[in-house]
A and B are shown apart, each in its own frame.
Chain A
């Protein structure tokens, strides 16, 4: 369960990147976060993950406030940032083991999780190599694996499918579906409307820091008869 209540973020005392944003995401849902460049998506995700502080409002993850109880709140989620270039000098396996230690995953469980994830993402032969030698897509995969290693109940992903090959993209989407079906939550930002259409139970459309629409895609389509999703998105953000 994610609760975002009247959250505002102001940069340099002037620019309102996010303005009174409220969202309540129930368990068992995949929610897509859509908006044009600079709409406030990444700022919102950064506030949800404790990277940025909210200037107003609060964010609760499974009931834990990220502002007042950050350590417990951070254990609830796994975050995949938009840039996967982390700790490039470490080997893949070293990175995964570090993440497992930070999230206190025991040895037996981490070993089986790593084996399982490496097979699913075709990374078994790459674990012993430095992340520096990986392609962009492989770096994206190792970051996703690092997040999934502690089996967080909430997944927060910033453009997670960018750079992934079709097979890995399919695997990740399937994982997201399974995660939601098991009663947990997936919240991810994307520019690809087709992905949102096929994958999401609900979408939140944001522009200039404000939520313009939050609900199911069917409901949105019902409001704009005969229009494609792309046209609807442009229409909503234009008038937002």
Chain B
């Protein structure tokens, strides 16, 4: 136990003390403080909107005596969110982090390493859930003025809530990684392990999750009954959650104790299982088989074909994105996963019918439709260009080999354009996939698909260069695992939040101030082109200035 504690403390210090390169310099410190301030300011509206939304919800449900539904929703959604985040987090922290080989050589038991890894993941999950959990609970406390026990149990719940979903995700991952040594192509299996875990996770969720199917009559009966009876319609995946909900709503100490007992039992069970499985999956995880196959004359000629440096550099960026499991999962797959996640919206039977009804009412030739298509195209381009984080982490991903950029006889202009190109190519694949799929499913006219595509492409060029600018100004070059370079990199928030905000703003303008498609299209196009060209021109100079202060 003592070893587990000291290992967890050391790991935590190491993870969170990995500050940005060159931060010691005064100017860089100011950049970091500025970025943190912008981040806080940017996130405040999100937190405030959760608070307001919860307050409105409680006030709506209070007359029906169903205010507990809010807590039910919170305790249903947050663990699920943790579970899905964990499916991305666990492979990187448990299996692919750089400290693994050092830890394996130490006289430590599997559960001690596993426990410390669980602890580090837990801290990351606190950061994630605080944005949702704190404002909702705070709004509930503000309106309901509950007893002291509620406050105490809320703190306890915040600290323990991520444990069970995190462990569920860890077990799925542990089983998959245990199978890796049996896989014929280990490298490939390592690479796709994240997808497998995601698939298993989705399947588990579909099998056991969701609301109970109830009739309308039952629903009305529940509503009339009051006393938070609607909660009976909820079904929870994680076994400890119903007790947590009772403890919160009824101030039941017994339920709180049962919740803690189940949580503790799951933690202990997990550590015991880890004692059996963890090392079987982890030993040799970073080993890559070598074929020792001599290149044939033909293959050597093919492999040594010359290309322009900028093309070769772009291909290098793409190869690294595809060949690094963490980047493949977080940066590449998202371009294709996002459209697939929206698939049920179109294909669900009732959704499809409603969609057809709505589509039947739309006049595809009206100017308003074209204006909306332009706005929608821009929104898709901005979203798909920022969500994959490729350009927003293009410099950060270099890590300790950042010096390579400074050492080679290739201008920053060419290197940055190559980096932007890799982001743009993958964003475009996602855009094509989304728009062509949605366009053909919804049977949109061809010219409308072209308009959507054209403006999406222009917007994605812009957002990729903006993202690159953010990473040039604030790269995260010191990291222990590739996961940290992308997922624990705040840079993507600086592009995600503004691009989402901009998308909403465009939507607001299009709906409230309908203008001719020509006027709206021309203004949008001029703004996007001028902004992108300005960025392309000024980025190399900014990089040259900024990179000088990075040692």
Which residues of A pack against B, CB within 8 Å? 11-13, 46, 49-53, 70-72, 74-75, 79, 81, 83, 85-87, 89-90, 93-94, 96-98, 100-107, 110-111, 114-115, 124-130, 132-134
Q: For residue B293, which residues in chain A have a CB less than 8 angstroms away from its CB?
A: 125, 128
B304/A93 in contact, CB under 8 A = yes
Closest to A106 in B: B306
A190 to B307, CA, bound (A): 36
Q: For residue A71, which residues in chain B have a CB less than 8 angstroms away from its CB?
A: 409-411
Closest to B551 in A: A52
Closest to A95 in B: B316
B319/A89 in contact, CB under 8 A = yes
B401/A87 in contact, CB under 8 A = yes
Do A114 and B406 form a contact, CB below 8 Å, given A87-B401, A102-B312, A133-B289? no
B409/A12 in contact, CB under 8 A = no
Most buried by A among B292, B301, B303: B303
A105 to B404, CA, bound (A): 18
Do A101 and B409 form a contact, CB below 8 Å, given A12-B25, A86-B404, A115-B300? no
A114 to B297, CA, bound (A): 12
Q: For residue B299, which residues in chain A have a CB less than 8 angstroms away from its CB?
A: 128
Which residues of B pack against A, CB within 8 Å? 24-26, 187, 286-295, 299-301, 303-309, 311-313, 316, 319-320, 323-324, 400-401, 403-404, 406-411, 548, 551
A9 to B288, CA, bound (A): 40
A103 to B309, CA, bound (A): 8
Q: Which residue in A13, A46, A114, A125 is a CB contact (below 8 Å) of B292?
A: A125
Q: For residue A102, which residues in chain B have a CB less than 8 angstroms away from its CB?
A: 309, 312-313, 408-410
A127/B295 in contact, CB under 8 A = yes
Q: Which residue in B286, B290, B304, B309 is a CB contact (below 8 Å) of A104?
A: B309
Pairs A–B under 8 Å by Cβ, sample size 5: A51-B407, A85-B401, A100-B306, A129-B292, A134-B290
Of all A-B residue pairs in the complex, the 3 with the closest CB atoms, nearest first, are: A101-B312, A74-B409, A133-B288
Q: For residue A87, which residues in chain B have a CB less than 8 angstroms away from its CB?
A: 316, 320, 401
Do A11 and B406 form a contact, CB below 8 Å, given A101-B306, A126-B292? no
Closest to A43 in B: B551
A11 to B307, CA, bound (A): 39
B24/A97 in contact, CB under 8 A = no
Most buried by B among A51, A100, A114: A51
B316/A50 in contact, CB under 8 A = no
Q: For residue B313, which residues in chain A have a CB less than 8 angstroms away from its CB?
A: 98, 101-102
Q: For residue A134, which residues in chain B have a CB less than 8 angstroms away from its CB?
A: 290
Do A51 and B300 form a contact, CB below 8 Å, given A71-B411, A102-B312, A129-B290? no
A49 to B407, CA, bound (A): 6
- Give, as a whole number of angstroms, the nearest-CB distance from A62 to chain B: 13
B411/A100 in contact, CB under 8 A = no
Q: Which residue in B286, B291, B410 is a CB contact (below 8 Å) of A129?
A: B291
A110/B306 in contact, CB under 8 A = yes
- Give, as a whole number of angstroms, the nearest-CB distance from A79 to chain B: 6
Q: For residue A94, which residues in chain B have a CB less than 8 angstroms away from its CB?
A: 303, 316, 319
A79 to B409, CA, bound (A): 12
- Give, as a whole number of angstroms, the nearest-CB distance from B106 to chain A: 21
A46/B403 in contact, CB under 8 A = yes
A75/B409 in contact, CB under 8 A = yes
A105/B294 in contact, CB under 8 A = no
